[in-house]
């Protein structure tokens, strides 16, 4: 049976209920278009994540690897275009580590581009009534690191990408005035399902529609 790997993260800093971890839990064991989904919740730990993602890719041999993480303040789910070979942590990981300007992989290139058809996924979201966009930076923290490692370790025609999701409504009530943007877990789960199914079915180059940014 063909398989798909969807990862989310556990708690870190002030993110106690990380929606990305909940998405991975919900999708673990699900079927998407005849593919079995393996959902894994990763610790926000710069050392542990290497072993876990390497082992998962090796044992699951997924057709698609979708890394998800929360990015409070983002207005909608965002498909990341690029993973940088940089770890420059704005907050410590769960073990208290704060790497500054260190490589993710000393034997890797400066960056990898996503291999998901990100424009086609945004189009699928739009058709389903879910707003979303292409983002040109995944940051320099654990999500970027895990996206980079998944690209670095996946061989052949595997589709690898990363989605940053907004905060959930409940914590967003507490953050800021006006409050930080939020979306429900059901909509976020559907967005990830659509990203997986579009990535499985899309053939050929990505859609030629704009999705860039001036800065
Ligand atoms: N978001 C962080 C790490 C874990 C998560 O959910 C990030 O964007 O790097």
Ligand 1 mean position to 89 CA, how many Å? 11
Residue 9 CB–ligand 1 contact under 6 Å:
yes
* DSSP assignments along the chain, one per residue: --EEEEEEE--BTTBSS-HHHHHHHHHTT-EETTEEEEEEEEPS-TTHHHHHHHHHHHHH--SEEEEEEE-TT-SS-EEE-EEES-B--SS--TT-----SB-S-TTS-SEEE--S-HHHHHHHHHHTT---EEES---SSHHHHHHHHHHHH--TT-EEEEEEE-B-HHHHHHSTTTTPPB--HHHHHHHHHHHHHHHHH--SSPP--------
Q: Is the pLDDT of residue 93 over 90?
A: yes
Please state the rounded mean pLDDT for residues 83-107: 98
State the closest ligand 1 atom to the C-alpha of 8, by its place in the atom list counted from 1: 6
* Domains of the chain as residue ranges with CATH: 3-201 (3.40.630.20)
Task: Determine which residue's CA is closest to atom 8 belonging to ligand 1.
Answer: 143
Q: Ligand 1 center to residue 144 CA distance, Å?
A: 8
pLDDT higher than 90, residue 112: yes
Average pLDDT rounded to a whole number, residues 91-106: 98
> What is the pLDDT confidence band of residue 121, given thresholds at 50, 70 and 90?
very high
Mean pLDDT, rounded, of the chain = 97
Q: Given the CA of residue 143, which atom of ligand 1 is nearest to it?
A: 9
- pLDDT (tens digit per residue) in 50-80: 999 999 999 999 999 999 999 999 999 999 9
Q: State the distance from the centre of ligand 1 to the C-alpha of 158, rounded, in angstroms.
A: 23
């Amino acid at each position: 049976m063909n398989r798909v790997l969807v990862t989310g993260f556990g708690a870190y800093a002030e993110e106690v209920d990380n929606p990305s971890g909940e998405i991975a839990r919900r999708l673990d064991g699900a079927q998407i278009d005849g593919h079995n989904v393996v959902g894994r919740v990763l610790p926000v730990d710069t050392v542990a994540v290497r072993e876990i993602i390497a082992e998962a890719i090796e044992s699951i041999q997924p057709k698609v690897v979708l890394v998800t993480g929360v990015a409070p303040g983002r207005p909608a789910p965002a498909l990341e275009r690029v993973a940088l070979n940089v770890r420059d942590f704005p907050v410590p990981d769960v073990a208290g580590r704060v790497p500054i300007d260190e490589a993710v992989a000393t034997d890797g290139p400066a960056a990898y581009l996503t291999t998901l058809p990100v424009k086609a996924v945004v189009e699928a979201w739009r058709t389903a009534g879910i707003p979303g966009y292409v983002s040109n930076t995944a940051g320099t923290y654990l999500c970027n690191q895990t996206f980079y490692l998944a690209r670095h370790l996946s061989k052949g025609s595997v589709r690898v990408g990363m989605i940053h999701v907004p905060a959930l409504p409940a914590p967003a009530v507490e953050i800021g005035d006006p409050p930080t943007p939020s979306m429900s877990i059901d909509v976020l789960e559907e967005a990830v399902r659509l990203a997986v199914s579009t990535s499985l079915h899309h053939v050929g180059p990505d859609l030629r529609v704009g999705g860039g940014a001036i800065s």
